[in-house]
Amino acid sequence: MKLCIPTETPDGKSAQVYGHFGSAPFFTIYDTETDTAEVIKNDNAHHAHGMCQPIAALNGKHVDAVVCGGMGARAVQKMNEGGVKAYRAIQGTVADVAGQFSKGGLEEITVDNACAQHDCH
């Protein structure tokens, strides 16, 4: 399974999770089967609130889930329409989040519990 985790730095599995999906400087795609990480720079990080293009921001990479501190309702809806679920991350590194995800310990983000503004988490 491939997890997309927004991160502060391009440090792979040791990168700290960034609080909000759309404005993250980087996306780290962690493959749970191969224990590898690929980092993508987020060229859409400085968008107006509600104008994030989550699928486009991932440059066509196939991901099964997004794990982040928060995500707006429109982004959740767009992800879900693309067959991608979103989960609320714990604080820590990509490795920490991947470990918690594999234990089934992360809450799913839905349209009903999504962020209403950038400072919601």
Residue pair 56/82 in contact (Cβ under 8 Å)? The answer is: no
Instruction: Determine phi and psi for 79, rounding to 5 degrees.
Output: -60, -50
Chain-centroid distance of CA 32 in Å reads 15
Give the number of other Cβ atoms within 10 Å of residue 43's Cβ.
9
pLDDT tens string 37-79: 999 988 765 545 445 555 666 767 889 999 988 888 888 888 8
Give pLDDT tens digits for 10-45.
999 999 999 878 788 999 999 999 999 999 988 765
Q: Strand 26-31 vs strand 2-7: parallel, antiparallel, or unpaired? A: antiparallel
All domains of the chain, ordered by start, with CATH? 2-109 (3.30.420.130)
Contact 79, 66 (CB under 8 A): yes
Measure the CA–CA gap between 14 and 5, rounded to whole angstroms. Answer: 12
Coil vs helix vs strand at 97: helix
